[in-house]
Amino acid sequence: ASRVPLPEFDGTGRLADGHRVPLLANVGSGADAVEAAAAGAQGVGLLRTEFCFLSRDTEPTREEQVEAYRAVFDAFGGAKVVVRTLDAGADKPLPFLTDDSEPNPALGVRGYRTDAAVPGVLARQLAAIAEAADGSTAEVWTMAPMISTPAEAAAFAGMCAEAGLKTPGVMVEVPSAALMARQLASEVDFASIGTNDLTQYTMAADRQLGALAELNDPWQPAVLHLVKATCDGGAAVQGDPRPVGVCGEAAADPALAVVLVGLGVATLSMNRRALPAVAAILKTVDLPGAQRIAGLALGAGSADEARGAVRAELPELD
Ligand code: PEP
Ligand code: MG
């Protein structure tokens, strides 16, 4: 049957009761950011800075970095832009940072961990982000990938402060980070869950192996329990609850987006193409409804059961 096309995203994510869920875009370049802004994204929830420099075999200069980041900030004047520092290694090797002789790259020196192996690159990147943010109207937040401990979160926040960056955060991509979310979040201003890696590490299933797709599914209830632990941890920071977003592919699955909001996720960041479908389904539920639906997913014994139980509650899904 032919389907009525979804209306364009009108630029404000909200539930049926008016509860706001800002819908942001994942981008990898200034050109991407321009398209995301045109699609109505309310900001950028994930700028994958390594995508700006994937083909490089030397560290990009300060000027090159400032230009790349500024192109994204310019596309989102007045809006929030979350910059992720270089996530080199494993599925995203960068020749100037990544040791390609590691036996298990996904468990190796990647993301924030490269700062200890190749000192200086992260500090120089933070300085370039600060310079690009200076004079821009974008509200620049900065986060580190592959954070495993509260001590790493604290060290990253210290580096951001040294660079003059105001809003440091961490990605939650590793079960240890989800389980220690309160302590981790108390060191920074926000957390953003990377469900692609969180799923890979929770299920011990390589995200690049199609043969493990059944395990590598963000609907796995074990992953959803860790999402809940992260949201609860952010909310439990004494006196000043920290917002928790999701910027992995899970945010682009409309039914799963409802579950994530019900678990306490404040913002969803996704490929711009997913914005209209996610916005449309969120409008069909109120917050208590999303919480009830999230409870069904948490109580399921398998990914299929979780998906089936949630889809049955969302008749507007096609
Ligand atoms: C994630 O892991 O979910 C994420 C958003 O980061 P990346 O996909 O770039 O590893
Ligand atoms: Mg990741």
Task: Give the alpha-carbon dihedral of 296, 231, 42, 46, to 10 degrees.
Answer: -110
List the one residue out of 190, 138, 126, 133 whose CA is nearest residue 163. Answer: 126
Measured by CA distance, the residue closest to atom 1 of ligand 1 is 194
User: Rounded to 5 degrees, what angle do the CA atoms 312, 315, 318 make?
Assistant: 105
Q: How far is CA 39 from the centre of its chain?
A: 19
Q: Report the pLDDT value the prediction gives residue 3, as an integer from 0 to 100.
A: 64
Q: Quick check: CB of 248 below 6 Å from ligand 1?
A: yes
247 lines ligand 1 (CB under 6 A): yes
**Residue nearest atom 9 of ligand 1, based on CA coordinates:** 48
Q: State the distance from the centre of ligand 1 to the C-alpha of 269, rounded, in angstroms.
A: 11
The reported pLDDT for the residue numbered 148 is 98
Judge contact between 143 and 169, C-beta under 8 A.
Answer: yes
Pocket test for ligand 1, best of 53, 226, 247, 268 (most atoms within 8 A of CB): 247
* Cα 156 from Cα 290, distance rounded (Å): 34
Atom of ligand 1 nearest to the CA of 46: 5
pLDDT in tens, 203-261: 999 999 999 999 999 999 999 999 999 999 999 999 999 999 999 999 999 999 999 99
3 state SS for 110-155: CHHHHHHHCCCHHHHHHHHHHHHHCCCCCEEEEEECCCCCHHHHHH
Helix axes 195-203, 221-235, angle to 10 degrees: 120
Q: Which ligand is nearest to the CA of 195?
A: 1
Task: Say if strands 139-144 and 167-172 run parallel, antiparallel, or are unpaired.
Answer: parallel
What's the 203 CA to ligand 2 centre distance in angstroms? 14
Q: Give the chain's residues under pLDDT 50.
A: 1
**Neighbouring residues of the ion ligand 2, judged by CB less than 5 Å:** 173, 194, 197
d(CA 271, CA 269): 7
CB 234 within 8 A of CB 244: yes
Residue-level pLDDT at 7: 80
- Nearest atom in ligand 1 to the alpha carbon of residue 196 is 3
pLDDT given at position 2: 56
Q: Is 89 left (phi over 0), alpha (psi -120 to 50) or beta?
A: left
d(CA 88, ligand 2 centre) in Å: 10
Residue 106 CA to residue 307 CA, distance in Å, equals 28
Mutate to test the pocket of ligand 1, among 51, 173, 270 (most ligand atoms within 8 A of CB): 173
Q: Is 196 in the pocket of ligand 1 (CB under 6 A)?
A: yes
pLDDT, position 41:
97
Distance CA 11, CA 42 (A): 6
